[in-house]
Amino acid sequence: MSGFLAIVRRELKLALRQGSDASTVLMFYVVVVALFPLGVGPEPDVLERISGGVVWIGALLAALLSLDRLFQPDLEDGSLDLLVLAPWPLEFLVLAKCLAHWLVTGLPIMVISPLLGLLLHMQPEAYFSLLAAMALGTPVLSLIGAVGATLVLGARRSGVLVSLLVLPLTIPVLIFGVAAVEAAAIGQSPQPHLMLLGALLLAALPLCPWAAAAALRQAVA
């Protein structure tokens, strides 16, 4: 457990040292969501109807923006070899980096989402469901993204490749996240959709680190 926490602290320190990456993700998220009222018009009824989907699409695209930097810097400076040779399981390394990635990108996205929902005239009843869905869904984005990031290590134009790999796999998160928000907005229970998001998270927690660790072993072999 001490090795796990050490890796999380290391990643957070690196992220704070390069604070522009986290701020870029947030600014991209805000810009993507703010463009929709300009494109579809300022009518409150229209924006309210699409608010859940717009917020989730923006969150998904913003999370993808930083995935190519999840393991690539470690590969370039040689620290990935040392991390692979560390005495703790490689799956713990992947899980620790996913946790740090979520703390730097997913958590700020989750916190700012209700403010962007307010911009889009989202129903007040949907805010709690939005936060709950983001809390369950954004970690899944980081976990699935780690698998895609390890598969394209060392490849040219890795940012484009990881997006192509990860986007289809995140469609269930998008569907259930938007459905939870829309259900709360019309007075229905979002619980079934939140439970499905929770099931996706429980499935991704063991499977994604295992798959990403296997890809890392091939990358440094």
Q: How far is Cα 221 from Cα 2, in angstroms, rounded to an integer?
A: 26
8 Å CB contact between 175 and 196: no
More confident call, 126 vs 162: 126
pLDDT digits (tens, 9 = 90+) for 52-103: 999 999 999 988 887 877 777 777 777 777 777 777 788 888 898 889 889 9
8 Å CB contact between 160 and 153: no
Band of the pLDDT at 155, cuts 50, 70, 90?
A: low
Give the residue carrying structure tokens 């999370």: 63
pLDDT digits (tens, 9 = 90+) for 105-131: 889 999 999 999 988 888 888 999 999
Q: How far is Cα 177 from Cα 200, in angstroms, rounded to an integer?
A: 11
Q: How far is Cα 98 from Cα 63, in angstroms, rounded to an integer?
A: 12
Residue 58's region, left for phi above 0, alpha for psi from -120 to 50, else beta, is alpha
Q: φ, ψ for residue 41 (rounded to 5)?
A: 105, 160
8 Å CB contact between 58 and 116: yes
8 Å CB contact between 147 and 215: yes
The tokens for 120 are 């889009």
The tokens for 91 are 């799956």
pLDDT digits (tens, 9 = 90+) for 167-197: 899 999 999 999 999 999 888 999 999 999 9
Does the pLDDT of residue 157 top 70, yes or no?
no
Give the residue carrying structure tokens 């040689």: 78
Count of domains observed in the chain? 1
Provide the whole-model pTM: 0.89
The domain containing residue 112 runs over which residues?
2-220
Residue 51: in which H helix or E strand, if any? helix 44-65
Please report the pLDDT score of residue 65 as a whole number.
83
More confident call, 129 vs 152: 129
Does the pLDDT of residue 45 top 80, yes or no?
yes
8 Å CB contact between 119 and 41: no
Q: How far is Cα 5 from Cα 81, in angstroms, rounded to an integer?
A: 19
